[in-house]
Chains A and B, each alone.
Chain A
């Protein structure tokens, strides 16, 4: 019997640890110097980066806590403070680890001087950051990007634009800094480059065998979330794209024997990424997912005004800020472009914005594409809500339909 694993590990993945380590150090320094902001994952970080305010991500810290399998314990710290288990587990571990940082060495973040939330990913972020603000004293700035019903209307654009301008004022006042055009252009170009490289790597997965699996993408998306706008982020994605293109050219798949191609919908269970590796042993690969494909556009412009306009456009139009129709369209498009056989929707108890509507989407996507799907239930950080045996049974049933 061969010891060979059914999946191939990316060489570039080794660089991730360096980036994560560097990011952690920079965040600590920024906090000590009074320049650290916590930001939500859909926040236009090009602005704080350009204003020399260092952004760091509680959601990413939540993913790390999840991957360490200490989610239930750290959620419990927040529960001890009176928060209910029903709330978002990213928020729960963020609150828990802020309250007891010494008990969460790999997942607590340095003390912020400001909390920058953008509600284009959910409405929870304001309440979550309000809670953190109470604990740390850092002020909250909410960039309000109301969910879009269809195309962005002029009044929506104007409103978000005013929010972006107030953000610049807020950062100027809070951190005694300013937005300089040259630096802003430089940061936005770097951000744009990183996003182009990342989306090019994702596109390579249209090929069969797919050079990347779900877990590869969930891990390698970290820098584009946390460090877009920096040189080292671009360097990472240059290396990743090279490796992915090389795999694609040589017909090397992420899974050794690719047999079934599935779509993943929603945030992954960070504590159970091996779930994807177990499926790899059955020849199952996930060439696309809605989570890492959330980056649909790059911040491009020639001057401050046009870059701000691009920010208004891109950050209003992120996947989770659109209605059910747009989500269904995106899934159908991914199924078509990536030639997928079926889809798996992870109903994440924590994330109402992402998950409510999946029962309906499942029916429509199947109707439009003719392929079957399954809804499995759990959470991204809190493993108490993840019934692996039940999930495996459901996936088995799905696989029987497509093989």
Chain B
């Protein structure tokens, strides 16, 4: 299934849910506590870039706006997001999304608009307090503008619900590092996309069914303990112990990048001659690893502080924390996870991606591992060229 078909399927599902009375709220930046939105009785819907959308932004945005921002803006112009009761824009994450949020408010004055501003720079306790207050303001705003208050009971339920999903996919991510053939990257990416698009009982069941299969296989292969330990290390962002992966036919590739669609990457790899998406043993993408490896929400303290703490502990985006933290993590990964090659994805006109790509590439090649830079846009408008580059990269890995 192509990402366009996945989009269509999600759209249909969201329409059905909306018609059945389920209230939906959209967000664009993946590091958001889903539990908070669910505690207001909303289903949080991640708005993905739609590869089938062509430009409809020209009257409002210059062409040098990031291609992801242009894509979501075009979706709104084409009235594709009408099932959503409100939109949550991130603040202080990148200049494109910051300004597109402002433009959105002017162009679509009847939309219910919220801004959740994130701290940058890893200011520790002060950052947690700041984000906690931002979340509190968001919560009050939702109550005021959309009429449903914050429920602690719903928060408890959603913490369990979201926690189950995260635990399942964290296990699968770790299991694939040990044996990537246990389940394809495409299946994992689709399960994540399915849940983030429509976090329903059905999408949770899909992720948990995948988990059962993976657990069974890992158990049979005697890897359960190793997977659990590795999953915990990934959550703590410390990979210090080498693993011994199962032998496979494909090279072991990690995909790095930002708000790039994992299912598009999986599909690109599958459609490349000589490629197989099992070759992708791990991603460090915003809509993949970076989002799902978030701590479970603790219900012990102030809920807003706990949500802020969990959010900021996750593997963040380049504009939120310094480069060194991510390079250290990458180094641990390259040293201990038997990686053969790295693909660095760059969304066109995405400052964070493009600024970081040379440093990531250098860090990888300094470790003696080949790297491929892959500039792309959400529409995958140059797919044949991308495929050719991936093919050539795979050939390099095979000959090395």
What residues of chain A have their CB less than 8 Å away from a CB belonging to chain B? 81-84, 86-88, 91, 119, 122-124, 126-128, 130-131, 133-134, 140, 142-144, 146-147, 149, 153, 155-156, 158-159, 162-163, 166, 323-325, 347, 349, 352-353, 355-360, 364, 377
Contact assessment for A352 and B323 in the assembled complex, using a CB-CB cutoff below 8 Å? no
| A324 near B99: Cβ-Cβ < 8 Å | yes
* B308-329 interface bits toward A, Cβ cutoff 8 Å, 1 = contact, 0 = none: 0000000000110011100000
Note all chain A residues with C-beta closer than 8 A to B107.
360
Q: Report the nearest B residue to A84, measured CB to CB.
A: B354
- A124-B95, A142-B120, A352-B96 known; 7 new pairs, CB 8 Å cut-off, are A130-B318, A155-B133, A163-B123, A352-B351, A353-B95, A356-B65, A356-B100
Q: Once the chains bind, are A123 and B355 in contact (CB under 8 Å)?
A: no
**Residue in A123, A128, A143, A163 whose beta carbon sits within 8 Å of that of B93 in the complex:** A123
Contact call A144/B121, Cβ cutoff below 8 A: yes
Stretch in contact with the other chain, from B182-190, B225-233, B356-364 = B356-364
Interface residues of B in 102-150 (CB under 8 A from A): 102-103, 105-107, 115, 117-121, 123, 126-127, 129-130, 133-134, 137
Residue of A82, A127, A140, A146 near B117 (CB, 8 A) is A146
User: Measured between alpha carbons, how far is A232 from B100 in the docked complex, in Å?
Assistant: 42
Q: A353 touches which one: B99, B123, B362 (CB < 8 A)?
A: B99
Cβ-neighbour of B59 out of A143, A352, A359 (below 8 A): A359
Report which of A83, A140, A360 forms a contact with B354, defined as CB distance below 8 A.
Answer: A83
Find out whether the CB atom of B121 lies under 8 angstroms from the CB atom of A324.
Answer: no
Query: Can you name the residue of chain B whose Cβ is closest to the Cβ of A375?
Result: B62
Is A122 in contact with B95, judged by CB distance below 8 angstroms? yes
The distance in angstroms between the C-alpha atoms of A162 and B122, with both chains bound, is 12
Q: Report how many residues on chain B are interfacial, defined by Cβ distance under 8 Å.
A: 55
Find out whether the CB atom of B115 lies under 8 angstroms from the CB atom of A149.
Answer: yes
* From B62, B105, B133, B351, contact of A124 by CB (8 A): B351
For A325, list chain B residues within 8 Å (CB).
Answer: 102
Q: B373 within 8 Å of A by Cβ?
A: yes
Q: Is the CB of B359 within 8 A of A130?
A: yes
* C-alpha gap A221/B130 in the complex (Å): 34
Residues of chain B within 8 A of A353, CB atoms compared: 95, 98-99
Distance of A160 from chain B, by nearest CB (Å): 9
Q: How far is the CB of A76 from chain B (nearest CB, A)?
A: 14
Checking A88, A146, A364 against B106 with a beta-carbon cut-off of 8 angstroms, the contacting residue is: A364
A91 partner residues in chain B, CB cutoff 8 A: 355
Number of A-B contacts defined by CB within 8 Å: 160
CB-nearest residue of chain B to A88? B351
Complex A-B, nearest 10 residue pairs according to Cβ-Cβ distance, in ascending order: A82-B358, A127-B355, A142-B121, A324-B102, A356-B99, A130-B323, A155-B133, A352-B95, A162-B126, A159-B130
Task: Decide if A83 touches B106 in the complex (CB within 8 Å).
Answer: no
Cβ contact within 8 Å between B95 and A166: no
Q: Are A147 and B351 in contact (CB under 8 A)?
A: no
| A352 and B99 in contact, given A124-B355, A126-B319 (Cβ under 8 angstroms) | yes
Do A159 and B98 touch across chains, with their CB atoms under 8 A apart?
no
**B352 interface contact, C-beta 8 A:** yes
Contacts of B66 in A (CB 8 A): 352
The distance in angstroms between the C-alpha atoms of A399 and B94, with both chains bound, is: 36
Q: Is the CB of A86 within 8 A of B126?
A: no
- Which single residue of chain A is at the shortest CB-CB distance from B105? A324
**Considering the chains assembled together, what is the distance between the CA atoms of A395 and B388 in angstroms?**
45
Does the CB pair A162–B123 fall under 8 Å?
yes
A131 touches B92 (CB 8 A): no
The complex places the Cα of A286 from the Cα of B127 at a distance, in Å, of 42
B346 close to chain A: CB less than 8 A: yes
The distance in angstroms between the C-alpha atoms of A358 and B63, with both chains bound, is 12
Does B375 belong to the interface (CB within 8 Å)? yes
Asked if B348 CB lies within 8 Å of chain A CBs, one says yes
Give the CA-CA distance A163 to B124 in the complex, in Å. 10
Interchain residue pairs with CB less than 8 A apart (25): A82-B373, A83-B358, A84-B354, A86-B354, A91-B355, A127-B356, A130-B318, A130-B359, A142-B322, A146-B117, A146-B119, A147-B91, A147-B98, A147-B117, A153-B133, A153-B137, A155-B134, A163-B126, A324-B99, A324-B105, A352-B66, A352-B95, A356-B65, A356-B96, A360-B107
With contacts A349-B64, A360-B106 known, is A126 near B354, CB below 8 A?
Answer: no
Give the docked Cα–Cα distance between A325 and B133 (Å). Answer: 23
A140 near B322: Cβ-Cβ < 8 Å: yes
Q: What 1/0 mask marks residues of chain B from 49 to 62 whose CB sits below 8 Å from any chain A CB?
A: 00000000001111
A285 → chain B closest CB, angstroms: 27
| CA of A402 to CA of B100, assembled, Å | 31
Residue among B64, B91, B96 making CB contact with A146, cutoff 8 Å: B91
